[in-house]
Amino acid sequence: MENYPIFINLQDQPCLVVGAGTVALRKIRLQLQAGAKITVIAPTIDPQILEEFGDHITHLARVFETQDITGYRLITAATNDPEVNAKISTLAMAANVPVNVVDQPELCSFITPAIIDRSPITIAISTGGAAPVLAKHLRAQIEALVSPGLGKLAQQMRLLRNRVAELIPQETLRRRLWEGAVNGPIRDHFEAGRDQLGIDTLNELVEHGKTKLGSGSVSLVGAGPGDPDLLTFKALRLIQQADVVLHDRLVSDEVLNLSRRDADRIYVGKRRTDHAVPQGEINELILSLAQEGKNVVRLKGGDPFIFGRGGEELELLSETDIPFQIVPGVTAASGCATYAGIPLTHRDHAQSCVFVTGHLKNGTVNLDWQGLTVPHQTVVIYMGLVGLPIICAQLMKHGMPNSTPIALIERGTTKNQRVFTGTLACLPQALANKEIHAPTLIVVGSVVSLHEKLAWFDGAS
Ligand SMILES: C[S@@+](CC[C@H](N)C(=O)[O-])C[C@H]1O[C@@H](n2cnc3c(N)ncnc32)[C@H](O)[C@@H]1O
């Protein structure tokens, strides 16, 4: 180990920052968060420092002098003068005060790590100055796993520590109690933002040794349109914690593979024509799995509340006391259009955007065609492949120019993405002999003309 990690208590401690530019600003912000009393020495100060922290720091508007070194718990040199920085380092080391010289590890007696702040939990990552960018990437990955709710759980555990020690003198039993708190529904409640339920259940566990360990929970999670990198942090965390994942056809294998190896995966998908599991049965299944005490994640392609029947799946649960939460996802319109280089709105092209379903029912598509043909509007059509000829014909019949650009995005955001563009008059014909794979999304409007210029995503690469 190159450096020995420690956490230093800076509450009300005098700390010195020499320099007052943008780098100093970041150091000041973090040290203030840790409760330090900061003196800044610099002839001039970045206005942003004054604006953000003016009331919380002491600014001495002059150059650093040798006698400034005394009286501080921690010193940071962040000037752009290497000689001053070196002098501060020498003086601080001689006085045995920890010193950090920004970007000059050889002059430091301590270095500052990348931090994840879930107070009172603090996670620090260091590459010993070898690869700060890598440290930042690792921080982003860990941040996804450690929800802000865990900080709140830790706070509650701190409040109850003495009470638990009083009630349970035996260390093993105490440890078992805390294990129960951090490994089940109590943790879930805090992570899902159900703070009060979390606090009540934790208190119940402490006072009576009881929790609702028997009941599980359900998370309806948007998995985005395909690219796993489009998952939210919260979605990733829940997928990784799930005991059972119910998914449909739109959820990509890459996303499913993020679940635990021992988690059950249940396919309840539907194709346009065959309904693998009827909706009512899916609802019942979710309920019964949660009643068995399982952490159920119901994964939906895109966003669960956009053409996803997410609401229906939760209605049954809302009549029980099983806790549930909903996590939004990147909907196909947003994901596919972005990956196709088609802005859904644009000052010169479209000031509004509507999402509709082009699902064919009894051989026809039932839409408010007049409402869809208003100028300067982008129309995004989900589930419209089969109805494409009807959709184009109806839009033209209701006044949309035949030359209006239209795009069909196949398997958007995935490595198989293909984008076909044309006009209302010609696209159905142009696609008639092509083999097109679901899912596909249709975008109609003048914004489609930007695709040629803005296309950036090459699925194959
Ligand atoms: C039942 S809807 C579900 C929509 C989903 N809840 C969402 O927010 O994106 C399914 C339709 O979404 C569209 N879709 C979803 N993912 C897609 C993708 N990766 N590429 C193209 N279209 C997609 C297709 O039109 C597909 O028929």
Q: What is the pLDDT of residues 189-216, one digit of tens each?
A: 898 899 999 999 999 888 887 554 456 8
Query: DSSP label at 321?
Result: S
**Per-residue pLDDT for 438 more than 50?**
yes
**Contact of 384 with 391, CB cutoff 8 Å:** yes
Per residue in 127-168, pLDDT tens?
887 888 898 899 988 988 888 999 999 999 999 999 999 988
What are the E-state strand segments in 229-351?
244-247, 264-267, 295-300, 324-327
pLDDT tier at 276, thresholds 50, 70, 90: low
CB 122 within 8 A of CB 157: no
* Beta carbon of 411 within 6 Å of any ligand 1 atom: yes
Question: Is the pLDDT reported for residue 66 higher than 90?
Answer: yes
| pLDDT of 399 strictly over 70 | yes
Write the single-letter amino acid at 184: G
- With a cut of 60, say whether residue 60 has pLDDT above it: yes
Catalytic-residue membership of 117: no
Whole-number Å distance, alpha carbon 256 to ligand 1 midpoint, is 17
CA dihedral sign, ordered 60, 66, 69, 75:
positive
b/e 185-224 (16+ beta carbons within 10 angstroms → b): bbbbbbbbebeebbbebbeebbeeeebbeebbbbbbbbbb
pLDDT at position 68: 94
Place of tokens 């509340």: 305
Q: Is 212 an annotated catalytic residue? A: no
43 SS3 class: coil
Indicate whether 318 pLDDT > 50: yes
Q: How far apart are CA 168 and CA 165, in angstroms?
A: 5
CATH code linked to domain 217-330? 3.40.1010.10
Digit-coded pLDDT (tens) for 413-427: 999 999 999 999 999
CATH number, span 333-454: 3.30.950.10
Least confident of 179-188, 388-397, 399-408: 179-188
| Structural tokens at position 206 | 């402490």
Look at residue 121 and give its three-state secondary structure. Answer: strand
Q: What is the pLDDT of residue 214?
A: 52
- Cβ–Cβ < 8 Å for 108, 49: no
Q: Is 391 in the pocket of ligand 1 (CB under 6 A)?
A: no
Ligand 1, atom 13: nearest CA belongs to which residue? 382
Options 46, 227, 248, 303, the catalytic residue: 248
Ligand 1 centroid to residue 415 C-alpha, Å: 16
Assess whether pLDDT exceeds 80 at residue 409: yes
For residue 204, what are its two tokens? 């119940």
What pLDDT, in 10s, does the model give residues 32-42? 999 999 999 99
Which residue's alpha carbon is nearest to atom 21 within ligand 1? 440
Least confident of 8-22, 41-55, 65-79, 168-182: 168-182
Q: Which two tokens stand for residue 433?
A: 């002999």
Residue nearest to atom 12 of ligand 1 (CA): 382
| Chain centre to alpha carbon of residue 283 | 27
pLDDT for res 262: 86
Q: What's the pLDDT score for residue 274? A: 58
Q: What is the best residue among 252, 282, 303, 307 to mutate for testing ligand 1's pocket, by most ligand atoms within 8 Å of CB?
A: 307
383 close to ligand 1 (CB < 6 Angstrom)? yes
Model-wide pTM > 0.85: no
Fold of 14-113: Rossmann fold (3.40.50)
225-243 exposure pattern, b = at least 16 Cβ within 10 A, e = fewer: bbbbebbbbbbbbbbebbb
Task: Specify the ligand 1 atom closest to the Cα of 330.
Answer: 8
Query: Can you give the pLDDT at residue 213?
Result: 46
| Spatial separation of the C-alpha atoms in residues 412 and 342, rounded to whole Å | 12
Six-digit token pair at 278? Answer: 């009827």
